[in-house]
Amino acid sequence: MWQKLAWIAFAGAVGTLSRYALSGFVQKLCGEKFPWGTLAVNVVGCFLFGMVWALAEERLLLSGETRFIVLTGFMGAFTTFSTFAFESSQLVRDSEWLLAAANLISQNVLGLACVFLGFAVSRMF
């Protein structure tokens, strides 16, 4: 158990540092007017999530434990957007159109609303 937690923590540290490096590099390269760094991290994260999932599930090239460590540790620290995109894709794949739309809309609308709510609440103190 402790060894698995250590691997998840290590993968999380690598994911955090990778996010920082990629986001900063892309943002410097493309300019500050648009969040290009975040876009790059989210797009790369979705691609990597899909690759890891397929390598583990379809090609059996990664064990379930390795998949868990990579997706939870590295990808969880790199970007959670990839998890959101993957879960949405699974709903679409299963023809759960209403749930897919609800997930896409609620995550984005509630996420944005909660950022503004957080701003407002923090100003009360």
Residue set of the binding site for Na(+):
76, 79
Cβ contacts of residue 66 below 8 Å, gap of 6+? 56
CB 41 within 8 A of CB 22: yes
The CB density around residue 73, as the number of other CB atoms within 10 Å, is 23
Query: What is the spatial distance between Cα 118 and Cα 80, in angstroms, rounded to a whole number?
Result: 19
The CB density around residue 78, as the number of other CB atoms within 10 Å, is 27
Cβ contacts of residue 48 below 8 Å, gap of 6+? 75, 78, 82
List residues forming the annotated binding site: 76, 79
